[in-house]
Each structure stands twice: as structure tokens, then as C-alpha cells.
Chains A and B, each alone.
Chain A
């Protein structure tokens, strides 16, 4: 074997990829050729240098997991990964916080009342205190109650003596229904309180009474020319209706 052939075969010899016969020829040649032996020495030194140095790179931690997640996503594109990525967690956390804050703010707000009867019911409830209904002028005498509002109110409230029908006048107070200034005339039927709210306005209701039940209270509303009325009570609707008829009677 000459040097040219030996040099061509040298790497395969080092890599143990030669058949036995050729390998034996290389060994024979190396024994008689210092040049090829020197190159062989370099190759062997280089090999051990490469194998001893920490050159082999291993997969970074987390890569395997990330690959399996990728496969999972590829296999089930419609089902999102159950574990959240960090940015998804942040986005979710932030939106939850914002929604929570909005919800809290919304709950903390006084409930918006849509209609005037609802306002009337709210004022009725607010007027009921443990010591009896809130009253500015307490009197069963309508001739005492009515003049009290002079100079306090832009209209003259309708105060009627309905004791003959069983409705005792307790008094009256200044109130409001929604953003309207109103007066509340307070009657009593046995243990039930009746508030009759009246406020000025261009006919909010029809002239004929309309009955409703709001938050468990019976409400009857009507309008009379430029005045609006809402009678609110926890008494039953028939009694409230009877009251309304008596109150409106000329």
C-alpha cells in the first residue's frame, strides 16, 4: 500500500470502518511510513481532544415538555391547552380583576330605578321607621296638614279626611319621587301604612288608575290634569283600590 491510498483510507481505519484485510494493510503501512504515522498521531490526538472536551450539547430543560405541548396542540387544535401560559395567566388575572372591580362598583351603586312607581315604592320603604312612618306634620286634621305646605311646596297637596272609610290621616311630609319634588300624605288602615305621593308634571299616567306590584308592595298610579299620584302600601290590592277610589272621590 502506498501513501496516497493509505491517507485516503486512514480516517476509515481510525473509525473502524474498514474490512479486516484493508485494515491489516494500513497497519503494515503505518509501521513502515513515518509521515503517515505522524498524521495518524494527529488524528488520534484530535479525536481524543474532541471526545474529552464538553462539546456535546444537551437539550435545554423544558424543551421536551414544550415539544409534547406542541404535539398536543397539533393533535387537538380545538381543545386549548389546559395549563395556562404565563402571559395567558396574566391576561386572565387582569381581566378578572377589572371585571371584579367593575362588578363591585356596579353593586356598590344605588340601584337605578327605572320608573317613577319604583321610586315611589323606594320612598315608601324609606319612610317606614321602627317608630312609625316618617312624618313632617303629624295631624289627623286636614286643616292643619294642608296649610303646613304653604311656602314649602309649589303646589297645594290634596289632603282628604277618609276616616269614615277606615283610613286614618296620620300626617304628611315633604318628599321626592325620582328627581321630582313631591309630597307624601300618610294614612293608616289598621296596621298598614299608605303613602300617597303626588308631584307636579305633565300627566305621567293615564287618568284611570293602574295597579302594579313592585317589590311586594301594591302601587296604584294615576294622573289628574297636571298632577301625578302614586299610592303605595303593603295592604292588599283590593283595600288599596278602595282607598284610591275614596281619595279621588270629588
Chain B
């Protein structure tokens, strides 16, 4: 595996360059999407369906949206990655994990750039220069591992069952709506009517604790609850463990099914 480090590097760079070449805006393109989304949701949830329980609401939104976009874009790209590279898989023997791993890495780099801009912004706007901020790299790494694990599983599943990617993209939108991106699961208007809903939204969706943890550190300038930290550690380890195991089991026949 170590021998293939250069291959991984090549694939990441190639992917980045190819995307960047394809659009007139270049790298800036990656910042446009989250900003447009944030503007639209800020408008919606400030005036149409006001959620007025958080100050600096656009920044609050932007952090959640950044995490969500990394999650969803990575999975969509990873799911079709093996098919996109089927010419290689069918003709040369190399560790195939590199393909989805490179695709997720590219998204991680883009996400990293966005977070790099968010940190000074949050520190200035929110005054969140706190020791808790030191936890941020760890949280981002855990999120990366979590996404990589699911990405490996989806990539190999989609190679065998070609409706995996379309099902995924159908699921992502409702999933986005129930993910605590534009609200906090511990504080929303209808929580008295459905007392269990908050807990379900907070713990039933593996993306929610990742968003909560990043937001606690970056937006509120404090350490996340221990339960949340434990959750993201376990979720990341489980996703990678299961994703890799599934990939190893199913990758043998890849050259035949692709």
C-alpha cells in the first residue's frame, strides 16, 4: 500500500486540476455554492420561517452547510468513482481503495479551504478564540474518516448495484432537511409538541453530532459535550471499519462487474 502513495497523490492532484480547469471561476467556484446556499437559507429562515434563536445566524448556517456539503458531495463523488475509473480497474492491478479515497480527499481539501476561511471569520464575529478551537483539527479529521468509510462502501456497492448512486441522491435532500443545519436540535419552536423529536434529530442522524461538535467549537467557542465527542469518535471508527471490510470483500470481482 505504501508503494502506491505516489499514485494516490497523482489521482488527487489530477482530480483537483481537472475540476478547476473545467470552470471559468476556478477554485472560487467551490466557495460560491456554500455562499449561495447560505444566502438563500438565511433569507428563508430569517424572514419567511424565522428561526430567531441564534445570533449571527448566517455564520451559524454557513458552518452547518460547509459540513453538509463536504459530506454529501464526497458521497456522491465516491459512489460513482470506481465506474468513472473503470478503464483503470479493468486493466491494471493496484489497490482500488485509492480511487474513492482520492475522490474524498479532493472534497476534503476543498472543505479545508472553506474552513480555513471560516475560522478567522468566526473568531472575529463571534470572539471564539478559545482553547476549544484546538479540538477543531481533530473533529475535522474524524469527519474525514467517517466520510471516507461510507464513501468506500458506496463506491463498491454502486459498482455492483447501479441504483445505489441514484438512491443516494434521492435520499440526500430529505436527509439535508432533517439534519440540524439551520436549527439546533436542542432549541426549536415545535419541541414542546413533539418532545422526542429533538433527541431523535440529535442522535438518530450520524451527521448531526459532527455538525454539532464543529459548531460548538467554531461558533460557540466551547468544548462539545462528552457524549457528542464519544459519538463522533465511534461513528468515524465504525464507518471506516465497516466500509473497508465491505470494500475488501467485494473488490475482488470489480474488474468483472465494471
Query: Are A and B part of the same complex?
Result: no
